[in-house]
Amino acid sequence: MYRDLDRGTKRAVLRLYRATNNPGQMAEALGALFRQLDVPALVIWGAADPYVPVRFAERQQEFFPRARIVILEQSGHWPFADDPEAVAGALIPFLQKQLEA
């Protein structure tokens, strides 16, 4: 995904976001279903996200009670593009732990 992160990709994602009717309502409807799954989750969030404030990172635990939250202070909306090493540093150990379980 990082390799293909160009202006066209960013514009396509923005069009998708803008075409999504009432994402908050959709989250509420799906939230109960996600909570029932009770699966490990990793939330990686950019503290400098100009679109979705960092306060929503912690809210992810309402839907994924066992979520581990990682806030990357120097990242924005797309942490994997802003700091791929930090994302890999959080993601790879998380995935390895899941394979061990």
Instruction: Specify the amino acid at residue 98.
Output: Q
* Residue 45 placed within a domain: yes
* Residue 2 placed within a domain: no
Domain that holds residue 92: 7-100
| C-beta atoms surrounding 3 within 10 Å | 5
CATH of the domain at 77: 3.40.50.1820
* Residue 66 placed within a domain: yes
The CA distance from 75 to 34, in Å, is 26
- Mean pLDDT for each 10-residue chunk of the chain (101 residues)? 77 84 77 88 96 91 93 94 95 96 76
* Residue 79 placed within a domain: yes
Token duo for residue 53 = 């404030």
Question: What pLDDT is recorded for position 88?
Answer: 97
| Prediction pTM value | 0.77
Q: If you ran DSSP here, which 8-state letter would residue 10 be given?
A: H
* Residue 28 placed within a domain: yes
**Total structural domains within the chain:** 1
3-state secondary structure of 101: coil
* Residue 78 placed within a domain: yes
